[in-house]
Amino acid sequence: MEAGKVSMNNQWYAKGVGLIAAFLLCFVQTYGLQLWTLDKKLASVAEPAELFTLQE
């Protein structure tokens, strides 16, 4: 599974990011989407452009 490889290479597991969260982030990166999350661990490993924010 690609998410497991990416998680291992980037040591997301050491930062508390689980396999499901890693899959979501890999999906976002693959398809150029943005992710809305309240998960602080997941948000800490995502690039700012990968996270959805409301534009006011």
Q: What percent of the chain has pLDDT over 70?
A: 100
Rounded Cα distance, 27 and 30, in Å: 5
| HSE-up of residue 3 (Cα within 13 Å, Cβ side) | 14
pLDDT exceeds 80 at position 49? yes
- Each domain of the chain, given as residue ranges in start order, spans 2-47
What's the pTM value of the predicted model, to 2 decimals?
0.86
- The pLDDT tens digits of the residues spanning 28-48 come to 999 999 999 999 999 999 999
pLDDT exceeds 90 at position 56? no
DSSP 6-53: HHHHHTTGGGT--HHHHHHHHHHHHHT--B----HHHHHHS-GGGB--
- Tokens 């490993």 found at: 45
